[in-house]
């Protein structure tokens, strides 16, 4: 049976990549949620020497800190584990070692405290964050942009998603990180590319806009990434101004592609689901200022309500897991303790099969 909505509180645990996170969120009486605590421990320092996330190091780091982080989140929220109405843990997609750490810990807590358990899809958590922050109604158009995912999705309801477009090669965040690495910028690369771009000339290099004006809403970033490499090799050795101009030109190309792909996705959305209540942007790349400004201009021109959660809720965090736990728990959607970790877990399984040529 669906839970009563009055003061529902859920503990959320997130360990799918290189952030260990725990949060307690309460269902607000006026719509959306109240974040009572949101503890995040980043592993950037542990991975910086390798220029990227090392799965084994990430999993061990989650093991080392998760119990302390959960204890801190409960204490900050002013609740004991017996006071929460449910325990939610990200069960995928992500680095399987890390996913197992958080999922197992969440199951153990739920068993010991005799609380409902909710296995959360990390992508669904990003998709529903705008309902936590802004209490918006379904359906809305989602642009999910992160290091591992680039998707345009019609969000019709909890558990009801229609994928309109995805990347056929690199995710946008992955492309930012790879460009940063080839230009000798430090890890994490995405913010460094953005920082360099602020000082560069976006018109200096004529870079391709892959998939521009193509039917559908899919992305492709590998060709753009290769074009940056070829330009860098052509003018080597690179001076600081060259790096800034390459970053600015690359970022401008990405922005143009994003806007074009959203325009196509919006047409597909309206053809089947009517007018969206909003354009929502989620994922770590949503913190990029140039992308945010371009989306704001597009939304204004298109008459769309643009919702971009605060940067701390765009990157991986426990609050989005806890909120998704609330969304599912209030609808009676819980899971048993046999739920297995999933390294891959598409929001729209039918679109995944078609995209991979299996149907």
Gap between the Cα atoms of 304 and 217, Å rounded = 18
25 CB neighbour count, 10 Å cutoff: 30
Residues near 271 by beta carbon (within 8 Å), at least 6 away in sequence: none
Where does CATH 3.30.420.40 sit in the chain? 9-134+312-355, 140-304
pLDDT at position 352: 58
Name the DSSP letter for residue 219: B
Superfamily of domain 9-134+312-355: ATPase, nucleotide binding domain (3.30.420.40)
**Do residues 78 and 36 lie in contact, with contact meaning Cβ atoms separated by under 8 Å?**
yes
**Mind listing the pLDDT tens digit of every residue in the chain (359 residues)?**
455 445 899 999 999 988 899 999 999 888 789 999 999 988 777 777 667 778 788 889 899 999 999 999 999 999 999 999 999 999 999 999 999 999 999 999 999 999 999 999 999 999 999 999 999 999 999 999 988 899 999 999 999 999 999 999 999 999 999 999 999 999 889 999 999 999 999 999 999 999 999 999 999 999 999 999 999 999 999 999 999 999 999 999 999 999 999 999 999 999 999 999 999 999 989 989 999 999 999 999 999 999 999 999 998 999 999 999 999 999 999 999 999 999 999 999 776 544 443 33
Tokens of 262: 């959203």
Query: What stretches of the chain adopt beta strand conformation (E)?
Result: 9-14, 19-27, 33-42, 86-92, 117-121, 140-145, 150-157, 160-166, 279-282, 306-307
- Residue range 140-304 forms a domain whose CATH class is alpha beta
pTM above 0.75, yes or no: yes
Helix (H) or strand (E) holding 283: none
pLDDT at position 355: 47
Nearest CA-CA partner of 164 in 62, 244, 266: 266
Gap between the Cα atoms of 153 and 155, Å rounded = 6
Tokens of 112: 């010991």
């Amino acid at each position: 049976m669906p839970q009563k909505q009055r003061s529902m509180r859920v503990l959320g645990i997130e360990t799918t990549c290189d952030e260990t996170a725990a949060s307690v969120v309460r269902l607000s009486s006026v719509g959306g949620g109240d974040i009572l605590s949101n503890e995040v421990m980043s592993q950037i320092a542990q991975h910086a020497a390798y220029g990227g996330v090392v799965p084994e190091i990430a999993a061990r780091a989650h093991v080392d800190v998760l119990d302390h982080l959960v204890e801190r989140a409960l204490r900050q929220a002013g609740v004991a584990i017996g006071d929460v109405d449910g325990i939610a843990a990200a069960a995928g997609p992500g680095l399987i070692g890390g996913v197992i750490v958080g999922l197992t810990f969440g199951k153990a807590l739920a068993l010991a405290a005799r609380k409902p358990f909710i296995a959360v899809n990390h992508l669904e958590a990003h998709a529903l964050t705008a309902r936590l922050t802004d209490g918006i109604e379904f359906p809305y158009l989602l642009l999910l942009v992160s290091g591992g995912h680039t998707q345009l999705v019609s969000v019709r309801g909890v558990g009801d998603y229609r994928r309109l477009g995805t990347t056929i090669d690199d995710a946008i965040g992955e492309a930012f990180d790879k460009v940063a690495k080839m230009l000798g910028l430090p890890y994490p690369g995405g913010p460094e590319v953005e920082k360099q771009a602020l000082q560069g000339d976006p018109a200096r290099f004529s870079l391709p806009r892959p998939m521009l004006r193509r039917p559908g809403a899919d992305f492709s970033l590998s060709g753009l990434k290769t074009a940056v490499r070829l330009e860098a090799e052509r003018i080597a050795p690179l001076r600081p101004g060259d790096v800034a101009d390459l970053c600015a030109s690359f970022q401008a190309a990405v922005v143009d592609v994003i806007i074009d792909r959203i325009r196509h996705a919006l047409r597909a959305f309206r053809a089947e689901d009517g007018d969206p209540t909003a354009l929502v942007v989620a994922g770590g790349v949503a913190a990029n200022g140039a992308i945010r400004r371009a989306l704001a201009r597009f939304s204004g021109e298109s008459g769309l309500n643009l919702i971009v959660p605060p940067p701390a809720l765009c990157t991986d965090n426990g609050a989005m897991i806890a909120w998704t736990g609330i969304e599912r728990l209030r609808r009676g959607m819980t899971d048993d303790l046999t739920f297995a970790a999933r390294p891959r877990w598409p929001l729209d399984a039918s679109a995944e099969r078609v995209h991979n040529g299996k149907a």
